[in-house]
């Protein structure tokens, strides 16, 4: 087996013959002696001529065959031992699929609605400003990942098999290019169908799905030698099993409160907070493709990081050709996030520009103990709501922000609830403002033209990851002192993003079946 790189112009899809010919050259054999070739990775290179760079794996006759991932089979589990999975986001879905592979029955409890009904609540949220606290951009089937950009890369190097996640997504309807693209994404027009296919697979294999079933209590039942968990839901329904996987996401504050009431292990966890920056996509294309952008090319991305006062300020969850959406889960908060469809063809590019926040940064919040960062996050979101008295986002042009000048007018934005000109330089906490202010001009040195008054900053970008961690035993993966109860995914503080949450789901489900 040999790995090598070849490049082709971005508008040229290489044929099987071209790839085999390059494999023969790389292996130093004749074409008919090439036994196997595989595209391992495809990445865009816009440094000179705009190319796709392909990493190819090739084997000649007599070599060991190429490693090809084979998905384990899902078993029929209707009468198998159940595991309760609370939350139907990426962590809960991929935990459930792993349970099927292990021959265990997932019983999924999801506080929100199925993905179709959820669309109505999302439309009401964007267009009429009505927040349904059980069904919104974070809550409902598929979790926070359903109406998103569906970016599938992760900064995390944590253990776990990302291939299992990507291959299952392809199995349930995602394009095969996600298996090889360096920066794969699915898009919010395709994700709901994939989420529905996952649910159907779980049901067809004997698992259970319960929507509008909100967990409000967990009771440990000890009888002699065995320990069981009773999950109590808001309407009074109860479900009992030896193991519960708790994958409720970073916005399920009621779950943290439940843990606090019970005296179960929680700790404050650093997160990141800042603004969403929205540029015209045409500007980002011009910068990133060095003026050589053509309309058939993919919308350009960016990823920026700068150290300010020893702390990182970085772009987060960049959505090329995307739109901004209101992702608060309760009234009285302004929270933004970004999503895009598979074509990434809106006229805007947006990204969170955030800086890390640690407990030492927020004097005055110590009195909230493990909830200090969560209270801080919530206060900033509320401050933005109080300014606009609605879901309209307080907003300021980028250079005006750095010059502490109120914007006389605002550029058009993709954010449907609307924007209101605001002194974000005063509304944001001082240390956040100071770091962002230093970072924007510095980003311009890496991406000439980024620092412009044509860019709009909107607040708040705050649900970047959980500000609380449910502490897990590193060996058993159950909550410390609570065998059988498995905190999982982003809400537990062990992942961030779709892929790492799905990977955590797989790891936790595997641990729960040992
Ligand atoms: C608009 C938007 C765009 C995003 N874009 C991307 C992207 O492009 N790429 C990326 O990697 N990440 C993206 N993210 C982040 C990503 O969606 C999350 O990191 C990921 O979904 C976390 O997975 P999770 O399963 O741990 O939690 P979640 O997805 O938050 O799922 C938790 C689930 O638990 C349910 N739940 C909560 N409390 C209860 C309860 N008490 N009882 C029953 N059910 C409950 C919720 O309804 C929800 O369905 C985006 C997020 C948003 C909001």
Give residue limits of the domains in the chain: 2-60, 82-266+468-512, 270-461
Give me the pLDDT at residue 156, please. Answer: 58
Residue 48's pLDDT band, with cuts at 50, 70 and 90, is: confident
Residue 281 has pLDDT above 60, yes or no: yes
Q: What percent of the chain has pLDDT over 90?
A: 92
Which residues, in sequence order, are CB contacts of 79 under 8 Å at separation 6+? 105, 206
Contact 427/385 with Cβ under 8 angstroms? Answer: no
Q: Report pLDDT for 509.
A: 98
Give the right CATH number for 2-60 from 2.60.120.1440, 3.90.76.10, 3.30.70.2700, 3.40.50.970.
3.30.70.2700
Q: Is 458 left (phi over 0), alpha (psi -120 to 50) or beta?
A: beta
256 CB under 6 A from ligand 1?
no
- Output the CA 365–ligand 1 centroid distance in Å: 26
Determine if ligand 1 sits within 6 Å of the CB of residue 502. no
pLDDT at 125: 94
Which atom number of ligand 1 is nearest to the Cα of residue 489? 26
Kindly indicate the confidence band of residue 158, based on its pLDDT and cuts at 50, 70 and 90: low
Q: How far is CA 176 from the centre of its chain?
A: 20
Predicted local distance difference test score (pLDDT) of residue 223: 83
CA of 144 to the centre of ligand 1 (A): 3
**For the residues of 478-506, what is the DSSP string, one character each?**
SBTTBTTEEE-HHHHTS--SHHHHHHHHH
Q: Which residue lies with its CA nearest to atom 13 of ligand 1?
A: 497
Q: How far is the CA of 249 from the centre of ligand 1 (A)?
A: 5
Helix, strand, coil percentages, rounded to 5, for the chain:
30, 25, 40
For the ranges 149-153, 308-312, 317-321, the maximum mean pLDDT occurs at: 317-321
246 lines ligand 1 (CB under 6 A): no
- In short, whether 121's Cβ falls inside 6 Å of ligand 1 is no
Calculate what percentage of the chain has a pLDDT beyond 70.
99
Fold of 82-266+468-512: FAD/NAD(P)-binding domain (3.50.50)
Q: Which residue CA neighbors atom 51 of ligand 1 most closely?
A: 144
Q: Please report which confidence band the pLDDT of residue 157 belongs to, taking 50, 70 and 90 as the band edges.
A: low
- State the closest ligand 1 atom to the C-alpha of 91, by its place in the atom list counted from 1: 25
Among 118, 249, 490, the mutation site with the greatest number of ligand 1 atoms within 8 A of its Cβ is: 249
Residue 225 has pLDDT above 90, yes or no: no
Question: Whose alpha carbon is nearest atom 41 of ligand 1?
Answer: 215
CB-ligand 1 contact for 110 (6 Å cutoff):
yes
Protein residue with its CA nearest to atom 46 in ligand 1: 139
pLDDT of residue 403: 98
Return d(Cα 306, Cα 308) in angstroms, integer.
Answer: 6
Distance CA 137, CA 131 (A): 10
- Atom number, ligand 1, closest to the C-alpha of residue 88: 49
pLDDT for the residue 159: 59
416 contacts 126 by C-beta, under 8 angstroms: yes
Residue nearest (by alpha carbon) to ligand 1 atom 53 = 144
pTM of the model: 0.96
User: 372 falls in which pLDDT band (50, 70, 90)?
Assistant: very high
For the CA of 134, the nearest atom of ligand 1: 47
Q: How confident is the model at residue 352 (pLDDT cuts 50, 70, 90)?
A: very high
348-361 mean pLDDT: 95
DSSP lists the bridge partners of residue 7 as 53
Span 248-262, average pLDDT:
97
| Predicted confidence (pLDDT) at residue 226 exceeds the cutoff of 90 | no
The edge-to-edge listing of strands for the beta sheet with 208-210 is 208-210, 105-109, 82-86, 243-246, 485-487
As a whole number, mean pLDDT of residues 28-38 equals: 95
Gap between the Cα atoms of 381 and 464, Å rounded:
13
CB of residue 82 inside a 6 A radius of ligand 1: no
87 lines ligand 1 (CB under 6 A): yes
SS (H, E, C) 290-353: CCCCCCCCCCCCCCCEEEECCEEEEEEEEECCCEEEECCCCCCCCCEEEECCCCCCCCEEEEEE
């Amino acid at each position: 087996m040999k790995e090598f790189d070849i490049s082709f112009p971005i508008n040229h899809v290489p044929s099987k013959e071209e790839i085999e010919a390059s494999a023969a050259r790389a292996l130093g054999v004749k074409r008919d002696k090439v036994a196997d070739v595989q595209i391992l990775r495809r990445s865009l290179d816009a440094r000179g001529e705009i190319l796709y760079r392909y990493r190819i794996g090739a084997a000649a006759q007599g070599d060991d065959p190429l490693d090809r991932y084979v998905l384990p089979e899902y078993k029929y589990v209707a009468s198998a031992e159940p595991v309760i999975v609370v939350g139907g986001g990426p962590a809960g879905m991929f935990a459930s699929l792993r349970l099927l592979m292990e021959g265990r029955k997932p019983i999924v409890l999801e506080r929100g609605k199925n993905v179709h009904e959820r669309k109505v609540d999302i439309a009401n949220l964007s267009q009429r400003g009505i927040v349904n606290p059980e069904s919104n951009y974070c809550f409902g089937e598929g979790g926070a990942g359903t109406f998103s950009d569906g970016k599938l890369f992760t900064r995390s190097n944590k253990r776990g098999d990302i291939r299992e996640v990507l291959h299952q997504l392809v199995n349930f309807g995602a394009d095969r290019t996600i298996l090889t693209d360096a920066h794969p994404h699915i898009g919010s027009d395709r994700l709901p169908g994939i989420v529905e296919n996952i649910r159907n697979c779980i049901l067809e294999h004997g698992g259970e799905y319960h929507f509008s079933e909100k967990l409000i209590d967990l009771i440990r039942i000890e009888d002699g030698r065995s320990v069981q968990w009773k999950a109590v839901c808001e309407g009074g329904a109860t479900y009992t099993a030896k193991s519960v996987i708790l994958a409720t996401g970073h916005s399920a504050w009621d779950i943290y409160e439940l843990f606090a009431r019970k005296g179960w292990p929680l700790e404050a966890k650093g997160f990141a907070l800042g603004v969403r920056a929205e540029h015209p996509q045409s500007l980002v294309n011009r910068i990133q493709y060095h003026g050589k952008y053509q309309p058939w090319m993919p919308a350009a991305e960016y990823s920026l990081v700068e150290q300010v006062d020893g702390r990182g300020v970085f772009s987060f969850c960049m959505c090329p050709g995307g739109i901004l959406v209101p992702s608060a889960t309760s009234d009285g908060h302004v929270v933004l996030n970004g999503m895009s469809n598979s074509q990434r063809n809106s006229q805007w590019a947006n990204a969170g520009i955030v800086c890390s926040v640690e407990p030492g940064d927020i004097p005055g919040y110590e009195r909230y103990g493990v909830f200090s960062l969560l209270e801080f996050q919530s206060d900033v979101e509320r401050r933005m709501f109080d300014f606009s008295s609605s879901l309209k986002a307080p907003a300021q042009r980028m250079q005006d922000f750095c010059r502490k000048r109120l914007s006389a007018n605002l550029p058009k934005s993709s954010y449907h609830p609307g924007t209101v000109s605001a002194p974000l330089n005063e509304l944001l906490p001082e240390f956040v403002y100071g770091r962002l202010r230093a970072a924007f001009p510095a980003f311009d040195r890496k991406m000439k033209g980024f620092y412009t008054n044509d860019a709009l900053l909107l607040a708040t970008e705050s649900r970047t990851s959980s500000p609380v961690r449910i502490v897990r035993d590193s060996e058993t993966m159950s909550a410390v002192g609570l065998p059988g109860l498995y905190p999982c995914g982003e809400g537990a503080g062990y992942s961030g993003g779709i892929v790492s949450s799905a990977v955590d789901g797989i790891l936790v489900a595997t641990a729960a079946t040992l």
